[in-house]
Amino acid sequence: MQPVILFIIVAGNVTLATLAWVYFHKFQKASKKQIGTLRDGIESEKRLEKMREEFTAMMVHELRTPLTTINYTIDAISGDASIRPEPSLKEYLAIIKSESGEMLELVGELLDVAKIEAGKFEIVKVEDDLGKLIEEKMTVFKPLMEQKRLEFISEIGTNLEARFDRNRMGQVLENLLSNAAKFTLSGYVKVTARKTGGVLEVAISDSGEGIAADNLPKLFSKFEQLGNGKNGDKKGTGLGLVVAKGIVEAHGGKIRAASAGLGKGTTFTFTLPLS
């Protein structure tokens, strides 16, 4: 099968499945409004909730398995010395791997959102230094910042001890740093972390596209997208910030966004309780 055809099939199936989830969610939201007028509203709502959970679980399974298989297959082809694909085929394989990787990330976000909404999102908190985790994530993003010629500023305090889920908080930092890099064409990305008022406060600010005042309240809603797409990057689904909010709140913290307006940068700030 030609790589382009395979790519179209993969992208088409994933897109259809994602749209199905979106429309199912809209159906569920509309149905909930009608349930209030029924005598058996509570039971109906429970049935809808169960349907949504089952549908999400099914969709995640049906998407994750083939996407994982595609990734493994591409890795096997790329790592097999006996296979020497033409340059154009290598390019197609790289595109397929990139797109399937992004879809796997989306599937994970969909599952996290479903767990958050169902009240079944779990974290495992241990005593750790948040400052060290921030430095690790900044190291990961440093090559990207250098590639975009952005100044990457760090102002991280010492002894930022707290009880938190390291993997989940890493997910929050990755999402915020990724957004900052994606929507900043020139200037800087700055990370600050400090103790203040009985909490740990982390702020990630940039000199990028900024956000209109009327859009700020929408940022942490499902499928609300950041940016205006002018920089050529994909806008994404908007699920990352929903998940980030769920993670921070599961820790007993808060997250907020601030911007002076379009073209004036954005700052995302979240807090965690001190140990």
Q: In what order do the strands lie in the sheet with 199-206?
A: 151-156, 188-196, 199-206, 267-273, 254-258
Q: Give the pLDDT score at 148.
A: 95
Q: Give the pLDDT score at 6.
A: 46
Q: Give the pLDDT score at 109.
A: 74
- Span 199-222, mean pLDDT? 91
Q: Give the pLDDT score at 29.
A: 60
Q: Give the pLDDT score at 265.
A: 95
Q: Please, which pLDDT band fits residue 110 given cuts at 50, 70 and 90?
A: confident
- Span 227-240, mean pLDDT? 58
Written as one letter, the residue type at 147 is: Q
Residue 121 pLDDT exceeds 70: yes
CA atoms within 13 A on the CB side of 119: 2
Q: Please, which pLDDT band fits residue 153 given cuts at 50, 70 and 90?
A: very high
Question: What is the Cα–Cα distance from 119 to 80, expressed in whole angstroms?
Answer: 45
CA atoms within 13 A on the CB side of 261: 0
Q: Give the pLDDT score at 77.
A: 76
Q: Please, which pLDDT band fits residue 76 given cuts at 50, 70 and 90?
A: confident
Neighbours of 214 (CB within 10 A): 7
CB-CB contact of 116 with 122 (8 Å): no
- Span 138-162, mean pLDDT? 95
- Span 118-124, mean pLDDT? 79
- In percent, the amount of the chain with pLDDT more than 90 equals 41
Residue 188 pLDDT exceeds 90: yes
- Span 2-9, mean pLDDT? 45
Neighbours of 177 (CB within 10 A): 23
Diameter of the chain by CA atoms? 68
CB-CB contact of 181 with 236 (8 Å): no
CB-CB contact of 130 with 193 (8 Å): yes
- In percent, the amount of the chain with pLDDT more than 70 equals 70
Residue 52 pLDDT exceeds 70: no
Domains of the chain: 1-121 (1.10.287.130), 126-273 (3.30.565.10)
Q: Give the pLDDT score at 108.
A: 75
Q: Please, which pLDDT band fits residue 8 given cuts at 50, 70 and 90?
A: very low
Between 44 and 152, the higher pLDDT residue: 152
Residue 4 pLDDT exceeds 50: no
Question: What is the Cα–Cα distance from 228 to 238, expressed in whole angstroms?
Answer: 13
Q: How much is the mean pLDDT over the chain?
A: 79
**Minimum mean pLDDT range among 4-8, 36-40, 74-78, 267-271:** 4-8
